[in-house]
Amino acid sequence: MYIDRFEARFGSREPGAFVKFGRHMVTRLDPAAFRPRLDEYVRLHRACKRMLDGGSTISDALVLDFAEAAAWVAVEAPDIYGMFRGEMGDPEHAAPTRAPGSGRDPRTETDPLIKTGR
């Protein structure tokens, strides 16, 4: 599948030929070089998933390493930052809604009792 993905994007190239995949310069890998790159991609993918599932903050360095590892195996890395939407305090998704019929916009107004400290 790697060769199919690579050739669909870049055409037929010899192993070792450089191409630009997004922001990364990568080469077409031969079978011996592909396995370690795939292992690295899977390792970083698992690390990102564990951090997302655990609610941890993901470092910029990890996101960049993951994107580069994905480029080496000719796949588009998922938007890791986008995966946090709704997980880490995004009020559009995470905030509780007001009781039905309150007539207030839950995204812009705080409960009056919280405002007054009662």
Cα dihedral value 30, 32, 38, 43, nearest 10: -150
Per-residue confidence (pLDDT) for residue 61, from 0 to 100: 85
Tell me the whole-structure pTM to 2 decimals: 0.65
Identify the three-state secondary structure at position 53: helix
Would you say residue 117 has pLDDT above 80?
A: no
Please give the structure tokens belonging to residue 45. 């993918």
Per-residue confidence (pLDDT) for residue 105, from 0 to 100: 55
